[in-house]
Structure 1
Amino acid sequence: MAKKTIQRFLPDHNKIKQQKSLKIFGKLLHDANLWHLNRRSARGAFSVGLFFAFIPVPFQMVLAAALAIPFRVNLPLSIALVWITNPLTMPPIFYCSYLVGVFALGQEQQPFHFEASWEWLAQSLTTIGPAFIVGSLICASIAAVIGFFGIDYLWRRSVNKAWQNRGQD
């Protein structure tokens, strides 16, 4: 059940292999383990994908792929989960990350007004930047751990339920 549900939402692996941004990985993308979906590869992929979803850097998909390859976890799932932070969800997620950082560092909340300029970015790196980065790392780590154990639990539960239903038939 869990496997079928996840596979429904995954993109075709041939389309992923053809992505220009992933060409840097070359023949590493031909490892069959990166495309199989089982409990081990799914829980690792959830962990990798959710971690990079909360990290505020460009090229999150490439970073998720770069970590999925050596860990040999499901590559399409790792890349797809990065899109939890998309243009609609990014502001509230990153604001919550900032609040977590403020709490973790024991700082006062700094008032800020977003401006799309290099000056604002440079100035905010010194004021809200440390709390935002620390908060993002904390949220990314927590999301990765919850994703790892959460999908593992759901996968086991799904398999147990399938075995129970199999015995009733």
Structure 2
Amino acid sequence: MPRRLLQRYLPHPDALRRRRSLRVVGHLIGNPSLWVLTRRSVATAFSVGLFSALLPIPFQMLLAAFGAWLFRCNLPLSIGLVWITNPLTMPLIFFGNYRLGAWLLDTPVREAPDRISTHWIAEQLVDILPALALGSLVAAVVIAALAHLTIRLVWRWQVSRSWKERTRRRRRLRQAVPKE
């Protein structure tokens, strides 16, 4: 079952509460509804985490934590999924979001010069920002919805497969027992 796999990798809430740096939010971390691994909480955590990850804003982890608290979904998954946009993947993801936004706004895509500088980025930011914001928002909503649906379906399929396997196992055991 997916729950066992996820529990193997998630931190324990008591271990996090004991950390000195997290004592300020210890009462929030200790909320049991933020640590539950159910089909609903995991699917919602994927939605919240991926939505937060695809937005070009600072403090994405705080947004994911607030979203997990607001929607009562799994906190560590929501925060962990934000790291999909890490320093290596962020330029590719945000460039794709920008291209999507430019396509939606029907504006030409700006090509980057051979040498990108902060000065060039600052000059182009006014022109790039509307397309980046729209593309990021659309991509975040679509990816979050697809992730939610996919997790719910995969979880359901896994549980169904487990039930069928259990039924087959019981049937084999009944057939193997000699009748008196």
Count of residues in correspondence between the two structures? 166
What's the offset of the Cα at 1:31?
A: 1.2
TM-score, scaled to structure 2: 0.84
Q: Structure 2 matches for 1:28-39, cutoff 5 A?
A: 28-39=28-39
Q: Which residue of 2 aligns with 1:149?
A: 149
Aligned-partner Cα distance in 2 for 1:136–1:25 = 30
Q: State the identity %.
A: 43
Q: Letter of the aligned partner of 1:109 in structure 2?
A: V
Q: Which residue of 2 aligns with 1:77?
A: 77
TM-score, scaled to structure 1: 0.89
Question: Is this contact kept in 2: 1:13–1:76, CA < 8 A?
Answer: no
Question: Is this contact kept in 2: 1:44–1:73, CA < 8 A?
Answer: yes
In structure 1, the gaps of 5 or more residues are: none
Question: Is this contact kept in 2: 1:10–1:80, CA < 8 A?
Answer: no
Q: Letter of the aligned partner of 1:106 in structure 2?
A: D
Q: Which residue of 1 aligns with 2:178?
A: none
What's the offset of the Cα at 1:16?
A: 4.4
Aligned-partner Cα distance in 2 for 1:82–1:54 = 8
Between structure 1 and structure 2, the one with the greater Rg is 2
What's the offset of the Cα at 1:24?
A: 6.1
Query: Cα 1:81–1:122, aligned 2, differ >3 Å: closer, same or farther?
Result: same
2:161 equivalent to 1:165: no
CA RMSD of aligned residues (A): 1.9
Q: Structure 2 matches for 1:77-116, cutoff 5 A?
A: 77-113=77-113, 114-115=116-117
What's the offset of the Cα at 1:91?
A: 1.3
Pick which of 84-93 and 9-18 moved more: 9-18
- Match of 1:91, SS state, is helix
Q: Which residue of 1 aligns with 2:134?
A: 134
Question: Is this contact kept in 1: 2:50–2:143, CA < 8 A?
Answer: yes
Q: Which residue of 2 aligns with 1:52?
A: 52
Question: Is this contact kept in 2: 1:52–1:140, CA < 8 A?
Answer: yes
